């Protein structure tokens, strides 16, 4: 049996029977860093749910086999990390509106051989933004930097929320243009070229900048450009949370912007998944404490600043 805090299963080493009466897991690669087991174990304990939550290291090519095996064993559900969310969407027997709207599945419920796909990332992001900045997301003009799986999904969520203006910027221009075409019937939207002058102009008409970049391009390390990009009163959300205080957020705060990392989204999407699985209200304060405790003392101190 995998220890929920540290053990990791793989396709060849999945358990032969249910490790817990109600068994759940997070699937991804790499997966050792995931904080989800700590959050969910604490939540299960708080409400007396007979559940446990492990990790499964799985690449996209093996996802179908792993999902079939978890279904056969009788797992009650699981989460998927990038880049498995689109493939998990295809594997589900039923898809909730949240999954269809975002084109991806991050949360699966298994009932009597049927896999039901949900997406809690979108609403989790909305709750995180509103909690961090004390403002309704639907009032915000947003500049998205990066339109990979996460960035594209959140742009779709913003369009469904009714945000007044979206700017989409991506290194590969065709991706921004394609997504702009998809969303333009629901909201006012603009594709922004991936170069300094255009980004600097777009941010003057934005209230929130959302970065889903895994690595900052050279111009986001240029102090002169950062002086043009960030301003007092701008909200800046970097979806990364390891490290919890990346250079982009440090640069934004130094120029008067208000910042948040991806821990809030991680917390709220987990709480929504918990509610789908258990039917109970998520013990948010318990989950928040478990998340903070799972970080190193140094990381916890930085992420609370």
b/e sequence 90-108, b meaning 16+ C-beta within 10 Å: ebbeebbebbebbbbbbbb
**Residue keyed to tokens 């998809």:** 182
Q: What CA–CA distances, in Å, run from 118 to 2, 43, 61, 249?
A: 25, 20, 21, 30
CA distances from 232 to 90, 126, 139, 168, 226 (A): 43, 22, 18, 22, 12
CA 200 to chain centroid, in Å, comes to: 26
Select which of 71, 85, 123, 175 is catalytic: 85
The verdict on whether 175 is a catalytic residue reads no
Distance CA 215, CA 91 (A): 30
Element (H, E) at 301: helix 297-303
Residues paired with 22 in a beta bridge: 51
Identify whether 83 is preceded by a cis peptide bond (ω within 30 of 0). Answer: yes
Residues annotated catalytic, as ranges: 85
């Amino acid at each position: 049996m995998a220890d929920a805090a540290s053990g990791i299963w793989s396709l060849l080493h999945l358990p032969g029977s249910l490790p817990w009466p109600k068994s759940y897991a997070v699937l991804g690669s790499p997966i050792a860093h995931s904080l989800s087991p700590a959050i969910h174990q604490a939540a299960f304990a708080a409400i007396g749910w007979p559940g446990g939550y492990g990790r499964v290291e799985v690449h996209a090519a093996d996802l179908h086999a792993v999902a079939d095996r978890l279904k056969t064993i009788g797992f009650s559900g699981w989460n998927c990390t990038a880049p498995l969310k689109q493939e998990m969407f295809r594997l589900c027997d039923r898809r909730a509106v949240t999954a269809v709207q975002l084109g991806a599945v991050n949360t699966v419920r298994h009932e009597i051989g049927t896999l039901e796909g949900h997406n809690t990332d979108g609403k989790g992001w909305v709750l995180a933004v509103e909690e961090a900045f004390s403002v309704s997301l639907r009032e915000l003009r947003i500049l998205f930097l990066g339109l990979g799986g996460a960035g594209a999904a959140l742009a779709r969520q913003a369009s469904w929320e009714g945000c007044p203006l979206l700017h989409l910027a991506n290194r590969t221009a065709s991706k921004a243009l394609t997504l702009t075409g998809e969303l333009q019937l629901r909201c006012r939207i603009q594709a922004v070229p991936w170069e300094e002058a255009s980004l600097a102009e777009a941010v003057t008409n934005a209230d929130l900048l959302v970065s889903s970049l895994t690595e900052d391009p050279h111009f986001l390390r240029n102090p002169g450009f950062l002086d043009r990009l960030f301003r007092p009163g701008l909200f800046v959300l970097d979806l990364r949370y390891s490290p919890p205080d990346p250079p982009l957020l440090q640069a934004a705060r130094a120029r008067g912007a208000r910042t948040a990392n991806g821990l809030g989204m991680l917390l709220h999407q987990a709480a929504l998944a918990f509610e789908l699985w258990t039917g109970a209200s998520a013990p948010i304060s318990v989950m928040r404490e478990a998340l903070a405790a799972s970080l190193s003392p140094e990381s916890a101190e930085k992420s609370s600043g």
